[in-house]
Amino acid sequence: MNAASRIVSLLPSATEMLYALGLGDRVVAVSHECDYPQEVRHKPRVTFSYIDSSRSSSDIDVVVQQKLTTGQPLYGVDVALLAQLEFDLVITQSKCEVCALKYEDVVAAIDQMGRIDQVSILALQPNSLEEVFEDLIRIGQFCGSKNAAEAKVQQYQQRVDLIANRLASLRQEKWPRTALIEWIEPVMLAGNWMPEMLRIAGGRAPRLDASGKSCFTTWDAISAFNPEVVVFCPCGFDLSRTCDEVSALQQPEFLSFQAVRDGSVYAVDGNAYFNRSGPRLVESLEILAHLLHPQQIGPPELSSPAETAWRRLF
């Protein structure tokens, strides 16, 4: 297999991986959601959203559910723009039709252009930190940079192990009960790799459904768990947007949480961290460990200013 030299990345996490491997010069186009690092903002954007992301979380959910029920797409491909570009690899996902363009739509677009036999398509679908690291190595392999990818993963794993080792002496019954909120209205508990991250960071999570995926629940159900720490990390929302939404919450069940009474409610940039299955998941783990155990884990050194990454709300 020849190393890919002209890449279309339709996934923000994959775009970050490519740049982390020093392959940014091979990226010829990205998705409308790719926003990091700064250099990527000048790349052609070959996808778009049918959802008005400026609306409230409850309004967005209503529109998303309506479109899913009626079989309407949430995202689209600018086939005309894509057809103007030369590329030999497309990186997309096959995990979540709400989070990004569907795999089937990517294949259909490339087939419409008559290039289905000329282009490799790499679909990512991680469910754990290990699988995120494996995806980084797969991207490196497609690009002829497997050794560099393996070295990068080793660096990331060392940082993960450092957190785990520093917290190893803490008894699990002393870990704070922690709710990671991936969507605000209706409320959703974070799944996929985030329960694993919470365990490494020394926190106890409420019980998820058997699939381990993010799941809708109720404030009343979370109240029964009575979290000592709440971290709002809604998918697609930056820190400012998250703070605005949480400040409007008036549910009595939420206001009764021990975390609210103790001043341990935090907002984070869920778009850049936590939900994006790329290199900054390691920074997300370091943020979470610091919020839960500030005596053992100091403030992390982040790739973006800390004041844009997280904030204490209550």
Mean of all residue pLDDT scores within the chain: 93
Could you tell me if 148 and 21 are in contact, meaning their C-beta atoms sit under 8 angstroms apart? yes
Give the model's pLDDT for residue 205: 87
Indicate the Cα dihedral angle 254, 277, 99, 306, nearest 10°: 50
Domains and CATH numbers, the chain: 7-153 (3.40.50.1980), 171-312 (3.40.50.1980)
Identify the segments of the chain with pLDDT beneath 70.
1, 208-211
Residue (of 280, 17, 131) closest to 26 by Cα position = 17
Predicted confidence (pLDDT) per residue in 217-241, tens digit: 999 999 999 999 999 999 999 999 9
Give the model's pLDDT for residue 173: 85
Query: Rounded to whole angstroms, what are the CA distances from 242 to 57, 272, 308, 311?
Result: 10, 12, 11, 10
Give the model's pLDDT for residue 208: 59
Give the model's pLDDT for residue 214: 85
* pTM reported for the whole predicted model: 0.94
Strand residues in 41-187 grouped as ranges (E): 47-49, 75-77, 89-93, 120-124, 178-183
Give the model's pLDDT for residue 209: 58
Give the model's pLDDT for residue 146: 96
Predicted confidence (pLDDT) per residue in 84-141, tens digit: 999 999 999 987 778 788 899 999 999 999 889 899 999 999 999 999 999 999 999 9
Query: Bridge-partner residues for 286, per DSSP?
Result: none
